[in-house]
Amino acid sequence: MNNWDRLEQVIQYLGLNVNSFAKEIGLSRAERLYQIKKGNYAISKNLAGIITERFPDINEAWLLTGEGTMGKEVEPITNTKIPLFNISLDAFDTDLSNMPVAYELEIPLLSGSDFAFVNQGEAMQPEIEHGSVVFVKEVDKDAVVFGDIYLIISEKMNVVRFVRGGNDKQWRLLAKNVEGYDELFLDPDHVKAIYKVKGVLSMVSL
């Protein structure tokens, strides 16, 4: 399996085409990918890093060398349907069965997600654009990794933010768009549920 074969396998698992995949990983044009298809370039360490940062379940070592498996998980990737919610974060409930499902998505590489939702607002731009579909998986509060992005459902607020360490009694919640959104503080005891962002896709790609 050559460089393009591996790249094409990733694109197919994501349910995208070359152009939409290029957009998802932040490339202005797909020319760089087509050069790999022509055999002019290999998958660089930088490109592999960009892809695995956007889609964390991809095995970077496999992408670079072909050794091992495409997914980091040992379990095979399945076509589990992911419920998509298209409602305001303020309307989110910790009991997902109480929320109306707008659609069920089949994205094999993100099948480990608990659900997806349509992002509303510009707080996390350009990391997460308004109207993007965000895939998340619930984690325990003790498993939160500071610096990662989470959907937080709490007694005080429901937001998508970077979580940073504050002190023993507060988390610092930061937007990507720091010019338009203030830093927030939240007591972890007030958190009802927290979900790690596993992937982001534009509506155009779906």
12-66, pLDDT tens digit by residue?
A: 888 788 988 888 898 888 998 999 999 999 999 999 999 998 888 899 999 999 9
How many CB atoms neighbour CB 40 within 10 A? 9
Per DSSP, the three-state class of 116 is: strand
pLDDT value at position 117?
A: 96
State yes or no: pLDDT of 77 exceeds 70: no
> Distances in Å between the alpha carbon of 126 and those of 7, 45, 69?
24, 23, 31
pTM given for the model: 0.63
Side chain identity at residue 181, one-letter code: Y
CA 122/CA 18 separation, integer angstroms: 27
> Cβ distance 28 to 121 under 8 Å?
no
Q: What is the DSSP string of 19-58?
A: HHHHHHTT-S-SHHHHHHHTTS----HHHHHHHHHHSTTB
Q: Which helix (H) or strand (E) holds 7?
A: helix 3-14
Domains of the chain: 3-65 (1.10.260.40), 82-205 (2.10.109.10)
Phi and psi (nearest 5°) for 204?
A: -65, -30
Categorize the per-residue pLDDT at 142 as very low, low, confident or very high, splitting at 50, 70 and 90: confident
Rg of the chain taking only CA atoms, in angstroms: 18
